[in-house]
Amino acid sequence: MQTRSCQVLIVGGGPGGYPAAIRAGQLGLDTIIVDKHGLGGTCLNRGCIPSKAMIHAATEYEHMSAAAKGDRFGISLSEEPKLDMGKLIGWKDGIVSKLTGGVAQLIKAAGAEHIAGWANFKNAKTCIVTTDAGEEIEITAENVVLATGSVEVELPFMPFGDNVIGSTQALELTEKPEKLVVVGAGYIGLELGIAYRKLGTEVTFIEALDRILPLYDKEITRPITMWLKKHKVDVNLSCKAKGVTQGKDGKSVLEYEDAKGATQTIEADKILVAVGRKACLDGWGLENMGLDLDGKFIKVDAQCRTGMRGVYAIGDVVGEPLLAHKATAQGEMVAEIIAGHRRVHDPVAIAAVCFTEPEVVGVGLTPDEAKAKGEEVITGKFPLAASGRYLSMDAGTDGGFVRVTARKDDHVILGIHAVGTHVSELSGEFALAVEMGARLEDIAGTIHVHPTLTEGFAESALTALGHPIHITAPKAG
Amino acid sequence: MSEYRYKMPDVGEGIVEAEIVEWHVKEGDTVTEDQHVLDVMTDKATVEIPCAVNGTVTKLVGAPGDVIAVGTEIMFIATSGAAPVEEEAPAEAPKEEPKPAAKKPVEPEVSAEAPSVAARPTGERPLASPAVRKRALDAAIDLGVVPGTGPAGRITHDDLDDFIKSGGRLAARSGGGSAIRSARTAVTEEKVIGLRRRISDNMSRAQRTIPDIAYVEEIDVTALEELRAHLNAHRSEDQPKLTFIPFLVLALTKALPDTPQANAHFDGEAMVLTKYEAVHCGIAAATPNGLMVPVIKHAESLDIWQIASELSRLGQAAKDGKASKDELSGSTITITSLGAIGGLVTTPILNAPETAIIGVNKMQTLPRFDADGQVVPRKLMNLSSCFDHRIVDGYDAAMLIQRVKSLLENPATLFM
Q: How far apart are CA B44 and CA B66, in angstroms?
A: 16
b/e burial code for range B214-244 (CB count within 10 A of at least 16 → b): ebbeebbbbebbebbeebeeeeeeeebebbb
Distance from CA of B50 to the nearest CA of A (A): 15
Interface residues on B facing A, Cβ-Cβ cutoff 8 A:
25-26, 28-30, 109, 111-112, 114-115, 118, 120, 125, 127-130, 133-134, 137-138, 140, 151-154, 320
Q: How far apart are CA B304 and CA B252, in angstroms?
A: 12
Is the CB of residue A372 less than 8 Å away from at least one CB of chain B?
no
Q: How many CB atoms lie within 10 A of CB A415?
A: 22
- Helices and strands in chain B, H and E counts: 7, 18
| Confidence band for B164, pLDDT divided at 50, 70 and 90 | confident
More confident residue, B187 or A32: A32
List the one residue out of A163, A330, A361 whose CA is nearest residue A253.
Answer: A163
B152/A343 touch (CB, cutoff 8 Å), yes or no: no
Under a CB-based contact definition with an 8 Å cutoff, are residues B408 and B379 in contact?
A: no
- Helices and strands in chain A, H and E counts: 13, 23
Is the CB of residue A342 less than 8 Å away from at least one CB of chain B?
yes
Q: How far apart are CA A300 and CA A280, in angstroms?
A: 15
Mean residue pLDDT across chain B: 82
| Residue B308, pLDDT score | 94
| Residue B412, pLDDT score | 93
Amino acid at A16: G
Q: Which residues of chain A have pLDDT under 50?
A: 477
Residues of A serving a catalytic function are: 450
Cβ neighbours of B109 in A, within 8 Å: 465-467
Amino acid at A6: C
ipTM at complex level: 0.71
What are the CA-CA distances from residue A211 to residues A208, A215, A423 (Å)? Answer: 8, 10, 22
Cβ neighbours of A435 in B, within 8 Å: 129-130
Q: How many CB atoms lie within 10 A of CB A46?
A: 22
Mean pLDDT confidence for B79-84: 57
Rg (CA), chain A: 24
Determine the residue among B35, B77, B129 to mutate to test chain A binding: the one whose Cβ has the most chain A Cβ atoms within 10 Å: B129
- In sequence order, the 6+-apart residues with CB closer than 8 A to the CB of B110 are none
A412/B152 touch (CB, cutoff 8 Å), yes or no: yes
| Confidence band for B175, pLDDT divided at 50, 70 and 90 | very low
Whether the model clears a pTM of 0.90, i.e. scores above it, the answer is no
| Residue A275, pLDDT score | 96
Query: What would the DSSP string read from start to end of A25-88?
Result: HHTT--EEEEESS-TTHHHHHHSHHHHHHHHHHHHHHHHHHHHHHS-BTTB--SSPPP--HHHH
| Confidence band for B117, pLDDT divided at 50, 70 and 90 | very low
* B101, pLDDT greater than 80: no
A412/B137 touch (CB, cutoff 8 Å), yes or no: no
Amino acid at B75: M
In tens, the pLDDT along B263-274 reads: 999 998 899 999
Cβ neighbours of A404 in B, within 8 Å: none
In tens, the pLDDT along B313-336 reads: 999 898 888 888 889 899 999 999
Cα B34-B38-B41 angle, rounded to 5 deg: 125
| Residue A300, pLDDT score | 97
| Residue B121, pLDDT score | 63
Q: How far apart are CA A216 and CA A225, in angstroms?
A: 13
Amino acid at B176: G
Q: Can the peptide bond before residue A383 be classed as cis, meaning omega within 30 degrees of 0? A: no
In tens, the pLDDT along B4-19 reads: 887 877 766 566 778 8
B151/A441 touch (CB, cutoff 8 Å), yes or no: yes
Q: How far apart are CA A311 and CA A223, in angstroms?
A: 45
Cβ neighbours of A466 in B, within 8 Å: 109, 111-112
Determine the residue among B56, B138, B154 to mutate to test chain A binding: the one whose Cβ has the most chain A Cβ atoms within 10 Å: B154
List the one residue out of B292, B323, B291, B325 whose CA is nearest residue B310.
Answer: B323
B109/A342 touch (CB, cutoff 8 Å), yes or no: no
A439/B114 touch (CB, cutoff 8 Å), yes or no: yes
| Confidence band for B120, pLDDT divided at 50, 70 and 90 | low
In tens, the pLDDT along B191-206 reads: 888 888 888 988 898 8
> By CA distance, what is A374's nearest residue in B?
B320
DSSP state of B180: S
Mean pLDDT confidence for B165-179: 49
More confident residue, B172 or A264: A264
| Residue B123, pLDDT score | 67
B127/A411 touch (CB, cutoff 8 Å), yes or no: no
Interface A–B counts its CB contacts (< 8 A) at 55
| Domains, in order of start, for chain B | 2-100 (2.40.50.100), 117-173 (4.10.320.10), 212-415 (3.30.559.10)
Q: How far apart are CA A152 and CA B383, in angstroms?
A: 60
In tens, the pLDDT along B203-251 reads: 898 889 999 999 999 999 999 999 999 999 999 888 899 999 999 999 9
A411/B129 touch (CB, cutoff 8 Å), yes or no: no
Is the CB of residue A374 less than 8 Å away from at least one CB of chain B?
yes
Cβ neighbours of A344 in B, within 8 Å: 137
| Domains, in order of start, for chain A | 2-46+90-150+278-338 (3.50.50.60), 164-275 (3.50.50.60), 352-465 (3.30.390.30)
* B94, pLDDT greater than 50: no
Q: How many CB atoms lie within 10 A of CB A257?
A: 16
Greatest Cα pair distance, chain B, in angstroms, is: 94
Q: Which of A344, A441, A465 sits opposite B137 (nearest CB)?
A: A344
Three-state DSSP class for residue A379: strand
Q: How far apart are CA B142 and CA A408, in angstroms?
A: 26
Q: Which of A342, A411, A439 sits opposite B138 (nearest CB)?
A: A342
Mean pLDDT confidence for B120-149: 83
* B168, pLDDT greater than 90: no
Is the CB of residue A436 less than 8 Å away from at least one CB of chain B?
yes
In tens, the pLDDT along B49-76 reads: 878 788 888 888 888 888 888 778 888 8
